[in-house]
Amino acid sequence: MKHQDSKLLVFAAYLVLLILGLYHHEMWRDEYEEYLQARDAQGLFGFENIMNQGHAMLWQSCLWVITRFTHNPLAMKFFHGLIAASFAFVLIFKSPFKLWQSGLLLLSYFFLFEYAVISRCYAFGVLFFLLFACNYSKNLKLTWSSGILLFLVANTSIYAMMLTAVLIGWLFFMEIVLTKEQWKTNLKSKFPILLFAGLGILMAYLQIRPQEDNSFPINRVIWPFDQYRFDVAITQFFSAFVPISKFQSRHFWNTNFLMDDKGIVSWYWPLIAFCIVTLPFIRKQSILLLWLGGVGLVLFFQYHTGFRFARYYGHFFIWWLVCLWLLEKLHEQDEFMSKVKLAVLIMVIATQAIGGVMMYAADWTQKFSRGSEVARYLKNKGYAKSYMIGTVDFALSPIAAELDRKIYTMQHKKLCSNTKWDGARLNSTDSMDLVEALATAPKNKPLIFIASHPVQQFDYFKAFDEKKSARREFNFANYHFNCLAYFKRGIEYYEGYWIFKVEEIKKQ
């Protein structure tokens, strides 16, 4: 079989896995949230809505265009599949890695599941990072095409934005500062390219930075030093290269099989992982500097914010791959270091493939989210157009998207389709908020109440928490509640649902 035919076969095999994975995956709230935000956004490309998302514009703007033609969330899945297929194509046909290496990389946790099956903005970052590595290593110098790719990658996510800043600093150092006699000429020809890429960072920052009334629950830490937060951050570095989840746990997504009850891995495991994956770069100071700069910045950000999800720490792995790509194309290596690099690559991609295949299989055999199932249930029972009240707001987005409607959320005290983390949002609700919500329903018509967590005001949930048999029908205030169904949580912890039919008690 010709080498080109082998590449096509590997690419086709990945496409089959991608299509099957996307088809079977039950989308969860963060996937639906951005789709709904784009759907309901005002202004050209949804610019009016972008400033409240915490993400850069590229993914949101593409979704805005899609939602002008259809409100079916499957369109987002299809579009995301195209992005994943694109970075797979680049990896197979344009990368310096051997075909078997590229094939195993596509089975990695991040390329097979996290950035492929789950429809989020991060796949765009993967694509543009790989395209930049391909373009820069091909030309062996900074060109406008590389600058445009850096501009685009900066506008995919906050992590891509930060790593783009590291790349720009590295390119300035390599392309201008170190050129000695030619530095003035290079400054004149290449500084505008870097300035354009820097403009992409500025645009992304203006969109990502929290607004004054932002209420998203995050506790930033810098000083005094927080040992636990640091342990969490280095745990994520380890998980980026050994992404094997704690599958014995019920909600195993974003976990690691070596985690303790506090969600951390003993410090020596991340240290060992860091030493191993850094080995290929130790004799090439320029690439080592690039690698350490990106790792240091992301590690600090994880410590600072406390974020601990795979979609975030996967950027350690993406950054390592970009550095390895540049090392392969920009520097010749002796036989010994070539063997070292190959050994490290085999270790990493084999571990990644184990984690990727296991998570892909788990997503296939277990429910990831129950939101779309709830929407189908409401449609089948004839309640799709009934007035709906729900809590918590962010867990209701799968239902709102699949039913293409808005739901009255107790956190916002109005009809909503997505969560807006602003000062008006209620982080906690009480009995009066529930009574107020029920009073907004049309008179003499049944309404549907959806709870994604136990409602403290209902005795029904007290019995449920104590694992006692609870009466399916009960009264609250002037309303009669009948529990129609309960959808147990899937892999995603927050998305279990109780569905109640509610009718106002008529006065005698």
pLDDT digit string, tens, across residues 295-331 = 999 999 999 888 889 999 999 999 999 999 999 877 7
Task: Give which of 397, 428, 398 is closest to 411, Cα–Cα.
Answer: 428
pTM here?
0.91
Residue with the bigger pLDDT between 502 and 216: it is 502
For residue range 448-467, list pLDDT tens digits in order: 999 988 887 787 777 655 55
Mean pLDDT over residues 140-169, rounded? 93
Distance of alpha carbon 417 from alpha carbon 432, whole angstroms: 23
Contact 241, 316 (CB under 8 A): yes
Per-residue pLDDT at 479 exceeds 90:
no
Contact 87, 129 (CB under 8 A): no
pLDDT band at 446 (very low <50, low <70, confident <90, very high): confident
Q: Is the peptide bond before 73 cis (omega within 30 degrees of 0)?
A: no
Looking at the chain, the whole-number percentage of residues with pLDDT higher than 90 is: 55
* pLDDT for 214: 65
* pLDDT for 118: 94
* pLDDT for 28: 92
Distance of alpha carbon 377 from alpha carbon 497, whole angstroms: 12
pLDDT band at 54 (very low <50, low <70, confident <90, very high): low
For residue range 198-207, list pLDDT tens digits in order: 999 998 888 8
Looking at the chain, the whole-number percentage of residues with pLDDT higher than 70 is: 94
Contact 300, 237 (CB under 8 A): no
* pLDDT for 457: 77
Tokens of 365: 């055999």
For 145-159, 234-248, 444-458, which range has the lowest pLDDT when averaged over its residues? 444-458
What radius of gyration do the chain's Cα atoms show? 25
Per-residue pLDDT at 47 exceeds 80:
no
Distance of alpha carbon 282 from alpha carbon 280, whole angstroms: 6
Per-residue pLDDT at 399 exceeds 90:
yes
Distance of alpha carbon 435 from alpha carbon 495, whole angstroms: 24
Tokens of 417: 């389709």
Name the strands in the sheet holding 407-409, side by side, starting at the edge strand that comes first in the sequence.
414-416, 407-409, 387-391, 447-451, 497-504, 479-487, 473-476
Mean pLDDT over residues 188-213, rounded? 85
Distance of alpha carbon 57 from alpha carbon 51, whole angstroms: 9
* pLDDT for 185: 80
Residue with the bigger pLDDT between 112 and 57: it is 112
Torsion of CA 424, 425, 431, 434, to 10 degrees: 100
Q: Is the dihedral of CA 413, 41, 397, 422 positive or negative?
A: negative
pLDDT band at 495 (very low <50, low <70, confident <90, very high): confident
Mean pLDDT over residues 409-421, rounded? 85
Mean pLDDT over residues 141-165, rounded? 93
Distance of alpha carbon 410 from alpha carbon 147, whole angstroms: 46
For residue range 329-371, list pLDDT tens digits in order: 777 777 888 888 899 999 999 999 999 999 999 999 999 999 9
Pairing of strands 447-451, 387-391: parallel
Distance of alpha carbon 177 from alpha carbon 175, whole angstroms: 6
pLDDT band at 471 (very low <50, low <70, confident <90, very high): confident
* pLDDT for 469: 61
| Strand (E) or helix (H) holding 414 | strand 414-416
Pairing of strands 447-451, 497-504: antiparallel
Q: What are phi and psi of 199, to 5 degrees?
A: -65, -35
pLDDT band at 468 (very low <50, low <70, confident <90, very high): low
Q: Give 276's Cβ-side CA count (13 Å radius).
A: 18
Residue with the bigger pLDDT between 25 and 465: it is 25
Per-residue pLDDT at 48 exceeds 70:
no
pLDDT band at 263 (very low <50, low <70, confident <90, very high): confident
Mean pLDDT over residues 284-290, rounded? 92
Task: Give which of 153, 195, 155, 154 is closest to 172, Cα–Cα.
Answer: 195
Averaged pLDDT of the chain: 88
How many beta carbons lie within 10 A of that of residue 202, not counting itself? Answer: 11
DSSP letter for each residue of 382-398: T-TTSEEEEE-GGGGHH
Pairing of strands 479-487, 473-476: antiparallel
Per-residue pLDDT at 504 exceeds 60:
yes
Per-residue pLDDT at 173 exceeds 60:
yes
